[in-house]
Structure 1
């Protein structure tokens, strides 16, 4: 049995060195869950899980969450030939939290690298929104703790398509809007920021002041001390706590062949 850990930065991300049999046994599942909340991101270098093993490992950590269409494995790529809904993933190039349109967002995602992009790019960055909140001055915490933010899936559209057709805009609008707390008060007692590309405006705040605040908080939460950037190798598996981090992919050519396989853990806590 092999299991050891190594923190990759002071505030976010821990590398897990283990073997398949140990991870699939579930013996360290509780420890991994604790580390996931504490560190935000867990990296399993070149573990080389196949799809069946990735699903089995995901099941050791909590309740498995199928994709919206019922898929067990989701292909993360910008190639529409491999994933007909790949255009929706263009928003993944910008800082975001998954599931802001849901009552209960997913707990975590697990990504396994299958094919590296042939033309470079395609790293994944993660920002610890627990640590970012913790390090805010107390005066700023008091100013934002009770604020509410309207999140809209269609807001992300303007990041990559500033002049969308009305059909495209209406299609994104059908995904919905949701009012959420700016500061998530977790049942653990910890707090994290709920920001990112879906955050459209602060409720009952002047438009300009709202935009300034949301950009200011995004800039703060993505400072180097809160960020881990993963440079992928084939076979790497990365898990991130979707309730306490933001993430984004760095730009890459949609035709480069980049391919990752995703599984997810069902959410266990509503925004509050």
Structure 2
């Protein structure tokens, strides 16, 4: 069960960790935490809060890339960030670090995803085994915009009418691998807008979380999604009906970033999106991604 209000996870060596629920469908802030110096008891409290609340926020951290990698590895093995179009790593010698940024140096971008809006999505759901979780650490933030919203796919599934739950119980969905969350064509992929022929993994539409055992809707992203075995028009209509629930604010929480914020989200049971911001303002985030251990089921 998710916790609400203020909670304290006490540790006899390093003092209390305070947990403050956002009051929304998901999300909680942890206070009294230095992510560079956690004992087993503190980490256990953090992991429990993450399972309970799906997204956790820890403010006022001072992390270098090695600190971020070390904390991330406590959750599991890390993915390597993709090679940039320049042929280089985002951070030489640290392949686990992905830079999310609109900043350029000598005419070349230091990161990816820019300043546009990112639509609702789960990270890399087009893979057979998507990442378990993602972690984002704020180094520079714009004065306005660039907020990140998170949506609880537990809450979305629970809100579906019974007749809709019955309709989708055994359906599978193809998660498109043609375009990323910013709408850009992925490297090496032939463009197509026919969801029946586009590349991507097929997963159950309704899944059970492997740790919490809670049921959830697993949509991934809307563009080029396809419900396997249905006529295209029927698939489109049913997906539109499901996505109408995602758009409802009662299932979401919006985070307004500050420098030093670290946010960890469960990629299996949440989706997220980013607001646009002034492209002349700087935004630099460093991201790590924890590998998944099994396909959604």
Q: TM-score scaled by structure 2?
A: 0.78
Deviations 1:110-167 (A, max 9, x none): 101111125x21000100101211222222211111111122122558x746xx8xx9
2:118 corresponds in structure 1 to 93
Within the candidate set 61, 78, 85, 2:75 is matched to 61
Deviations 1:60-109 (A, max 9, x none): 2333333244712110113465646625x688700011121222111111
Within the candidate set 98, 101, 105, 1:77 is matched to 101
1:133 corresponds in structure 2 to 157
Alpha carbons 2:33, 2:58 under 8 Å: kept: no
1:230 corresponds in structure 2 to 255
Determine the C-alpha separation between the residues in 2 that align with 1:178 and 1:61: 24
Determine the C-alpha separation between the residues in 1 that align with 2:169 and 2:39: 41
Shift of 1:22: 7.5
Question: Could you tell which deviates more after superposition, 40-49 or 191-200?
Answer: 191-200
What secondary structure sits across from 1:61 in the alignment? coil
1:270 corresponds in structure 2 to 295
The structure whose residues are more often helix, as a share, is 1
2:176 corresponds in structure 1 to 152
What secondary structure sits across from 2:120 in the alignment? coil
Within the candidate set 26, 36, 45, 2:59 is matched to 45
Task: Work out which of the two has the higher radius of gyration on C-alpha atoms and give 1 or 2.
Answer: 2
Shift in alpha-carbon separation, 1:199–1:9, aligned structure 2, 3 A: farther
Superposition CA RMSD, Å: 2.9
Unaligned segments of structure 1, at least 5 residues: none
Deviations 1:9-46 (A, max 9, x none): 24200110023167533432223222222211101122
Unaligned segments of structure 2, at least 5 residues: 1-13, 84-93
2:217 corresponds in structure 1 to 193
2:134 corresponds in structure 1 to 109
Alpha carbons 2:116, 2:277 under 8 Å: kept: no
Q: TM-score scaled by structure 1?
A: 0.85
